[in-house]
Structure 1
Amino acid sequence: MEKKIRRGAGSAPVFPGVLALLLVGGCSSSGSTANPAVAPAPAPVPQPEAAAAEPEPAALPAGLYTSDQASRGADIFQDVCSECHTTNEFRGRIFQADWGRRSVYSFYRTVRSTMPDDNPGGLSEQVYLDVIAYILDMNGHPTGPGELSAESPMREFRIDPDFGGRE
């Protein structure tokens, strides 16, 4: 079967090749003893500004959740999450390697949009927040006077792999 080659949207434009030939041809002409005028340096081409990257979140501060909230989260984890998960998946080096540099909000959003497997997003916001508090507690983050809430600055803080959480 004979293949036909078509020039289309994916082919290289002809203009750069023609321009290169003209430049090479112009350089090879000899016979003129006059000094050619020195061409000015090309003006720098302005580069588009890179999209503003979201700043890397800071290490998790002490006290983003309460011990009561972590306790409620432990009960919920046992009743709901343990049908498919073990606590080992959410603590220690493996968890920190996967989630340590990401924001608490990123983890919360992922859990809320994908769990439970048979009803993603089907639990109350408070239930998800309590489970996140429990997972932070399992990783050795200290409790504080206020509960983790939707208004908490979760986007600003990461689950820090250098924190030295429990294993």
Structure 2
Amino acid sequence: MITGLLQKEAYARAVMDAGQVPEELDGLVAARLDRQAVLGRAKPPRMWFVLDESALRRPAGGRRSFREQLTDLAHVMTYSPNVQVRILPFESITWAGLDGSFQILELPEGRKVAYLETAGSGQLIHDPDIVEATSVRFQLVMGEALPAGASSKLVMRTLEDC
């Protein structure tokens, strides 16, 4: 799926709706959207994302919601210099990204932590060896992903097709 920091409300609601009680779903979606405020800061953090091509082919929330999501993704890719989104195409198969979502966070003092995520939970990792191994995984996935320009073109082609 498209990562939470880049999700529009309808798309977020669709991907988070698996058996949630409506009140809980509302809270989860609101919390996800609130976290996106980091993108609007005067000095926003630099972020790099790699999305699997399947995220561009799975119309979560229906066609209208998905078009809105892809339109916003294309906008971010074009107009947010602090954000880079790269697409891992179907043709690229790397073991490094197959076992779940992960993030590397570099804190202001230069320390890095990893956040590993599975379907029902997430774990913040401080162990330097695991953080380094996760950083290597990210570099392997980035090396297999399309360049930024080709990724943007793929998103635009997908948007035209849906």
Q: Give the TM interval when normalised to the shorter protein.
A: under 0.3
Q: Which structure would you say has the larger Rg?
A: 1
| TM, length-normalised to structure 2 | 0.22
Larger relative strand fraction: 2
Larger relative helix fraction: 2
